[in-house]
Chain A
Amino acid sequence: DAKTTQPPSMDCAEGRAANLPCNHSTISGNEYVYWYRQIHSQGPQYIIHGLKNNETNEMASLIITEDRKSSTLILPHATLRDTAVYYCIVRVAMDSSYKLIFGSGTRLLVRP
Chain B
Amino acid sequence: DSGVTQTPKHLITATGQRVTLRCSPRSGDLSVYWYQQSLDQGLQFLIQYYNGEERAKGNILERFSAQQFPDLHSELNLSSLELGDSALYFCASSEYNEQFFGPGTRLTVL
Contact = CB atoms under 8 A, between A and B. Distances in A.
B105 to A, nearest CB: 11
B98 A44 contact: no
A42 B104 contact: yes
Range, interface on chain A: 20 to 34
A101 B2 CA distance: 20
B56 A97 contact: yes
Given A99-B48, A99-B56, A100-B45, A41 B88 contact: yes
A45 B101 contact: yes
Interface of B is mostly: strand
A43 B25 CA distance: 13
B interface bracket (residues with beta carbon within 8 Å of A)? 20 to 34
A42 B2 CA distance: 11
A97 B50 contact: yes
Contacts of B33: 99
14 contacts: A41-B104, A43-B2, A44-B43, A44-B92, A46-B99, A46-B100, A87-B43, A97-B31, A100-B99, A101-B45, A102-B35, A102-B45, A103-B42, A104-B42
Interface of B: 2, 4, 31, 33, 35, 42-45, 48, 50, 55-56, 58, 88, 90, 92, 97-104, 106
Interface of A: 32, 41-46, 49, 87, 94-105
